[in-house]
């Protein structure tokens, strides 16, 4: 019997290999967020001062919408050939599967952010006035906040009719405090007014609370019959 | 238990009528806000009832997850539906009061935003129940209720911090309260609590009846198909 971590690692490498070969989720996320960025840029056409105020909101909304594209494919992929049923009857712990899926989505969304952030800087002529290194913890914690709940609610919405619509309906209300923290932290760092520490701590709290809740309840969701 | 229902209904009706009389006739008009202040006698009791119902929903969801008791799930459905209705009353009466008093319909204040997010979470709860009609629906819904309950304190803190940095109009006036106002308020609080409990109870019985009928029909179709 292999350890929970090796199961997580095996599922994670499988997902990343699948994504590397097909690039379905990544390509659609990238193109989708590019469209969002361009449409926002047309509709607001801000000057440098304004873009510092609104860029935090725009960039995170773009990532949130794009992440839903990847999250929707997380579990749907396992329905073909009854992979999920096989997982259910296997003795592997459910949380290993959940962690693998969440980490996989985390990697995809981080890649998306690494590609899209430079584009954002170009389109909105951004120049960071605050401590730019703080954007790294905000990005990591914020992405994990979206992805951990997203992976969980994708598993919840798997059993519903029209599941592609269900996921954002369940995810967005719960994500409101996380999104607000990311947006405010990013705005403060970009504009350089004040200290973003409160928002980073709040994001960390959100991550800890919902990672714990997801790990505690994922088994119930997976085995709900 | 079922005999208690008409008594509760009668009590609710009497209290609501008496509360209406107290709020509109007996309670004095507030000096600065005028008659629009009377909406408080409905706004605050509705909020109280909604929060009690959402709390009931959380407890029922926890009970369901632990003991898989179908009565707890029926109570969860009933309390969530009725809670959303009362929460909607709160969100509608609030702006009606705020417009003449604050001069704005809406502000991103702690209480307003937390109530709105709570309403959004419970609407998504009802949508989940509507879109999923399999046997796992109660489990999924109960899990969502727990996630929602974890979310609300975080919403509260985030808005609280946000608004302490950007000052906003102060809610309500302090000062001493006329005893007749307090009386009208307490009567309405009691009346709305009874009203909420009554509607929730009726909805709970309806849900139980609905499930019994479904079970009977399923059993009948199993037994009544001789081949």
In a domain, B48, yes or no: yes
Closest Cα of chain B to A202: distance in Å?
7
Lowest mean pLDDT among B107-111, B112-116, B213-217: B107-111
User: Count of domains in chain B?
Assistant: 1
User: Is A187 in contact with A53 (CB distance < 8 Å)?
Assistant: yes
pLDDT in tens, B79-101: 999 999 999 999 999 888 888 88
Q: Is the pLDDT of residue B179 over 50?
A: yes
B154 touches chain A (CB under 8 A): yes
CB-nearest partner of A173 from B121, B136, B157: B121
pLDDT in tens, B118-154: 999 999 999 999 888 777 888 999 999 999 999 888 8
C-beta atoms of B117 and A166 within 8 A: no
What is the reported pTM? Answer: 0.87
Question: pLDDT grade, residue B11 (50/70/90)?
Answer: very high
CB-nearest partner of B121 from A174, A202, A213: A174
Q: Is the pLDDT of residue B102 over 50?
A: yes
Q: Is the pLDDT of residue B38 over 90?
A: no
Most confident of A195-199, A219-223, B24-28, B203-207: B203-207
**A166: closest chain B residue by CA:** B128
Task: Choose from A160, A209, A214, A215 for mutation: most chain B CBs within 10 A.
Answer: A160
CB-nearest partner of A220 from B137, B139, B165: B139
The set of long-range contacts for A72-80, using a CB threshold of 8 Å and a minimum separation of 24, is A72/A154, A72/A163, A72/A164, A72/A167, A73/A24, A73/A25, A74/A101, A74/A104, A74/A105, A74/A151, A74/A154, A74/A155, A75/A101, A75/A154, A75/A155, A75/A158, A76/A158, A76/A163, A77/A18, A79/A158
Closest Cα of chain B to A21: distance in Å?
33
Q: Is the pLDDT of residue B171 over 70?
A: no
Mean pLDDT of chain B: 86
pLDDT for res B226: 59
Taking CA atoms, B150 is separated from A148, A211, B88, B143, in Å, by 14, 12, 21, 11
pLDDT for res A1: 53
pLDDT in tens, B54-82: 999 999 999 999 998 889 999 999 999 99
In a domain, B126, yes or no: no
ipTM of the complex: 0.86
C-beta atoms of B139 and A180 within 8 A: no
CA A98, CA A142: separation in Å to the nearest integer?
Answer: 18
Closest Cα of chain B to A200: distance in Å?
11
CA B216, CA B222: separation in Å to the nearest integer?
Answer: 10
B152 touches chain A (CB under 8 A): no
Question: pLDDT grade, residue B41 (50/70/90)?
Answer: confident
Which range marks the domain in which residue B36 is found? 9-108+178-220
C-beta atoms of A180 and B162 within 8 A: yes
CB-neighbour burial class of residue B174 (10 A; exposed 0-12, middle 13-18, buried 19+): exposed
Q: pLDDT > 70: what percent of chain B?
A: 92
In a domain, B100, yes or no: yes
List chain A residues with pLDDT less than 50.
none
C-beta atoms of B134 and A159 within 8 A: yes
CA A207, CA B208: separation in Å to the nearest integer?
Answer: 38
Instruction: Return the closest-CA partner of residue A96 out of A86, A87, A85.
Output: A87
C-beta atoms of B132 and A159 within 8 A: yes
C-beta atoms of B148 and A184 within 8 A: no
User: Is B150 in contact with A213 (CB distance < 8 Å)?
Assistant: yes
pLDDT for res B209: 93
In a domain, B225, yes or no: no
Instruction: Return the closest-CA partner of residue B45 out of B196, B174, B226.
Output: B196
In a domain, B69, yes or no: yes
B127 touches chain A (CB under 8 A): yes
pLDDT for res B160: 77
Which whole number is the average pLDDT over B39-62? 92
User: Is B147 in contact with A178 (CB distance < 8 Å)?
Assistant: no
Q: Is the pLDDT of residue B162 over 60?
A: yes
C-beta atoms of B144 and A220 within 8 A: no
Which residues is B34 bridged to in the sheet? B30
C-beta atoms of A156 and B131 within 8 A: no
Cβ partners under 8 Å of residue B11, min gap 6: B194
In a domain, B201, yes or no: yes
In a domain, B115, yes or no: no
B139 touches chain A (CB under 8 A): yes
C-beta atoms of A176 and B117 within 8 A: yes
pLDDT for res B82: 95
In a domain, B158, yes or no: no
Closest Cα of chain B to A20: distance in Å?
32
Task: Choose from B64, B114, B115, B132 for mutation: most chain A CBs within 10 A.
Answer: B132
Closest Cα of chain B to A55: distance in Å?
18
pLDDT for res B84: 95
């Amino acid at each position: 019997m292999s350890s929970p971590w090796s199961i997580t690692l095996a599922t994670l490498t499988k997902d990343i290999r699948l994504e590397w070969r097909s690039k379905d989720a990544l390509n659609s996320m990238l193109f989708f967020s590019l469209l969002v960025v361009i449409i926002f840029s047309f509709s607001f056409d801000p000057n440098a001062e304004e873009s510092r105020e609104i860029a935090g909101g725009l960039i995170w909304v773009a990532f949130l919408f794009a992440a839903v594209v990847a999250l929707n494919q997380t579990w749907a992929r396992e329905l073909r050939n009854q992979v999920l049923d096989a997982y259910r009857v296997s003795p592997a712990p459910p949380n290993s599967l959940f962690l693998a899926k969440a980490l996989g989505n985390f990697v995809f969304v981080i890649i998306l952010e690494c590609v899209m952030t430079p584009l954002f800087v170009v389109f909105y002529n951004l120049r960071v006035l605050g401590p730019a290194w703080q954007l790294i913890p905000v990005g990591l914690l914020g992405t994990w906040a979206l992805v951990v709940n997203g992976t969980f609610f994708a598993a919840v919405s798997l059993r519903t009719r029209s599941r592609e619509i269900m996921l954002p309906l369940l995810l967005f209300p719960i994500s409101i405090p996380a999104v607000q923290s990311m947006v405010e932290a990013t705005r403060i760092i970009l504009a350089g007014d004040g200290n973003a520490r409160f928002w980073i701590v709040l994001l960390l709290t959100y991550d800890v609370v919902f990672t714990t809740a997801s790990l505690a309840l994922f088994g119930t969701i997976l085995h709900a019959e | 238990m079922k005999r208690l229902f008409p008594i509760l209904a009668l009590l609710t009706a009497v209290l609501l009528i008496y509360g209406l009389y107290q709020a509109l006739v007996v309670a004095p008009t507030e000096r600065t806000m005028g008659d629009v202040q009377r909406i408080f006698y409905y706004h605050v009791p509705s909020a109280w009832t909604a929060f009690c119902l959402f709390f009931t929903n959380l407890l029922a969801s926890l009970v369901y997850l632990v003991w898989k008791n179908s009565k707890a799930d029926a109570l969860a459905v009933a309390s969530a539906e009725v809670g959303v209705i009362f929460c909607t009353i709160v969100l509608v009466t609030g702006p009606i009061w705020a417009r003449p008093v604050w001069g704005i319909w809406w502000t991103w204040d702690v209480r307003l935003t937390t109530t709105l997010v709570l309403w959004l979470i419970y609407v998504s709860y009802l949508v989940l129940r509507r879109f999923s009609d399999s046997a796992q629906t109660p489990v999924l819904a109960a899990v969502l209720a727990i996630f929602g309950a974890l979310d609300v304190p975080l919403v509260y803190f985030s808005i609280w911090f946000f608004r302490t940095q950007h000052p906003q109009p102060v809610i309500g006036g302090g000062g001493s309260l006329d005893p007749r106002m307090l009386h009208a308020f307490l009567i309405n609080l009691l009346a709305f609590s009874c009203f909420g409990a009554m509607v929730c109870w009726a909805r709970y019985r309806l849900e139980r009846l609905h499930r019994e009928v479904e079970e009977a029909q399923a059993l009948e179709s199993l037994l009544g198909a001789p081949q």
